[in-house]
Amino acid sequence: MAAVTQRPFATAGLEEKAGAAAWKTLPSWAVVATAAQMIQHDAERFMAEQAGGRTIEVDASHAIALSQPAAVADLIRSAVRTNA
């Protein structure tokens, strides 16, 4: 289903230089999808810790927004309330 809505990959996204990392100056949040097989869980946790992120872990696949939308929405609501 997701493949139907995704646009073709743009190589420009790989060639464009990144600006300043927002996580260095802004609060960040992260979700570790413990059933995902795309990225190692320890690597996800490490990246979140490096960014000083508030992290939750959810038993979900890499497509967590599709498989566990309530958990993702709850995390977004929490971020909004914290920054309000």
Is residue 2, in this structure, part of any structural domain at all? Answer: no
Contact 48, 32 (CB under 8 A): yes
Statement: residue 23 has pLDDT above 70: yes
The answer to whether residue 43 sits within a structural domain is yes
- Whether 27 shows a pLDDT value over 70: the answer reads yes
Q: What is the pLDDT of residue 75?
A: 93
- Residue 11's pLDDT band (boundaries 50, 70, 90)? confident
Residue 10 lies in a domain: no
Write down the pLDDT at residue 1. Answer: 62
User: Quick check: is 47 in a domain?
Assistant: yes
Question: How does pLDDT run across 48-84, given as a tens digit for each residue?
Answer: 888 888 899 999 988 899 999 999 999 999 999 987 5
Residue 71 lies in a domain: yes
Measured CA distances, 72 to 18, 24, 51, 56 (Å): 26, 22, 18, 10
The pLDDT value recorded for residue 69 is 94
What residue numbers bound the domain in which 58 lies? 18-83
- Domain assignment of residue 26, yes or no: yes
The count of domains in the chain is 1
Q: For residue 55, is it within any domain?
A: yes
